[in-house]
């Protein structure tokens, strides 16, 4: 075996600066190789010691709970040269009694003795039902009420007025004095019921024209308008201040001539209906209705007495 080569390497290792820095590390490794086997031999000797006998486990009586103390750790002694002082408690006086250092050490290092508490058996608790409390709250709300409006006394309603037409006319027989009629009644027969040849029907609605019905034995000439029936003038329509000449042919005797004038019409307002109707003339007109068709269409306005009649076609008196 050639030992020159290891020696050369060791000599170069000790002379090299980098090798010199690794010498302490090599010394520690050699020391560890020697110390580790010695420590392992000592631990093997300790393992041959006899084991301790087992400690019997005592079970606590029924109903008793055992409180095990928490593991304690050794408390390091405070390095305090003077007396202890709690920073959270204000000292009672500037000259407080100093606590000896030995007393603090004895208090801190005193062993903690475990205590066993005896607990009485727990009695079963019977649940009780508590009825909910009810509270009655009465709220009174006052609603303001408005006083009813004072009723004003109602004025008695006056009846609607009547607007009536007052017709004036005159009739004069040739060679005699004229007879003036201040207010013709509806269905009034002229000159009298016995031997009458002209009957007043009324003032036509919407106009001031008066409508008359003529007897069959009467012919008419003059102004105004006629509504013929079977070629004979039976209805005469006159405006105020118009006049006509009537020739009446009696059953026996000579022809009689009369002058008839529609003088005027006046509107009269009254609180009562003062329209008068000639009962005899009313019967006469109803008797003519069977022959004169326009008489079947007659009607009157209630509060004015105006005449509504359908005469059909009319023409001027004495003309076509």
Task: Specify the higher pLDDT residue, 40 or 9.
Answer: 40
Side-chain-side CA neighbours of 152 within 13 Å: the count stands at: 3
d(CA 211, CA 208): 10
Does some domain include residue 78? Answer: no
Look at residue 83 and tell me if it is in a domain: no
The answer as to whether 196 is a domain residue is yes
Do 265 and 208 contact (CB within 8 A), yes or no? yes
Q: Kindly report which listed range (127-131, 186-190, 269-273, 274-278) carries the lowest average pLDDT score.
A: 127-131
Q: Residue 223 has what DSSP assignment?
A: S
Q: Count helices and strands (H / E) in the chain.
A: 5, 13
- pLDDT at residue 96, as a whole number: 47
Q: 205: domain range?
A: 162-313
Contact predicate 163/269, CB 8 Å: yes
Structural domains of the chain, count: 1
Residues contacting residue 242 through CB under 8 Å, at least 6 positions apart = 222, 223, 224, 261, 262
Q: What percent of the chain has pLDDT over 90?
A: 37
23 lies in some domain: no
35 belongs to a structural domain: no
Residue 169 reports pLDDT greater than 90: yes
Question: Which structure tokens are listed for 138?
Answer: 């009465």
End-to-end CA distance of the chain: 185
Q: Is residue 300 part of a domain?
A: yes
Q: What is the mean pLDDT of residues 65-84?
A: 58
Give the tens place of pLDDT for each residue, 106-137: 444 455 565 555 656 667 666 666 666 777 87
183 belongs to a structural domain: yes
Q: Is residue 93 part of a domain?
A: no
Mean of pLDDT values over 9-28: 72
Whether 301 shows a pLDDT value over 60: the answer reads yes
pLDDT at residue 282 in the model: 94
Q: Return the pLDDT at 63.
A: 58
Most confident of 35-39, 70-74, 86-90, 157-161: 35-39
Compute and round to an integer the Cα radius of gyration of the chain.
77
- The answer on pLDDT for 177 being more than 90 is yes
């Amino acid at each position: 075996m050639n030992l020159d080569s290891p020696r050369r390497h060791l000599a170069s290792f000790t002379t090299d600066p980098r090798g010199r820095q690794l010498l302490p590390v090599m010394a520690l490794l050699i020391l560890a190789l020697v110390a580790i086997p010695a420590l392992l031999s000592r631990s093997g000797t300790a393992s041959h010691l006899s084991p301790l006998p087992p400690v019997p486990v005592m079970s606590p009586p029924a109903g008793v709970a055992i409180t095990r103390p928490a593991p304690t750790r050794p408390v390091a002694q405070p390095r305090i040269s003077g007396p202890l002082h709690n920073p959270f408690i204000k000292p009672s006086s500037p000259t407080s009694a100093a606590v000896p250092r030995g007393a603090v050490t004895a208090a801190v290092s005193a062993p903690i003795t475990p205590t066993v508490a005896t607990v009485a058996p727990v009695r079963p608790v019977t649940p009780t039902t508590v009825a909910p409390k009810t509270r009655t709250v009465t709220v009174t709300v006052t609603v303001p009420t408005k006083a009813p409006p004072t009723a004003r006394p109602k004025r008695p309603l006056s009846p609607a007025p009547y607007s009536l037409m007052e017709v004036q006319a005159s009739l004069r027989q040739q060679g005699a004095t004229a007879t003036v009629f201040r207010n013709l009644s509806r269905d009034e027969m002229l000159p009298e019921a016995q031997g009458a040849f002209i009957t007043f029907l009324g003032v036509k609605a919407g106009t001031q024209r008066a409508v008359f019905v003529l007897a069959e034995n009467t012919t008419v000439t003059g102004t105004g308008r006629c509504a013929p029936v079977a070629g004979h003038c039976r209805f005469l329509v006159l405006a105020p201040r118009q006049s006509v000449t009537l020739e009446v042919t009696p059953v026996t005797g000579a022809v009689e001539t009369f002058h008839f004038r529609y003088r005027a019409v006046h509107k009269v307002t009254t609180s009562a209906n003062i329209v008068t109707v000639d009962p005899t003339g009313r019967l006469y007109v109803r008797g003519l209705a069977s022959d004169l068709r326009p008489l079947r269409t007659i009607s009157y306005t209630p509060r004015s007495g105006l005449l509504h009649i359908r005469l059909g076609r009319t023409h001027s008196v004495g003309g076509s």
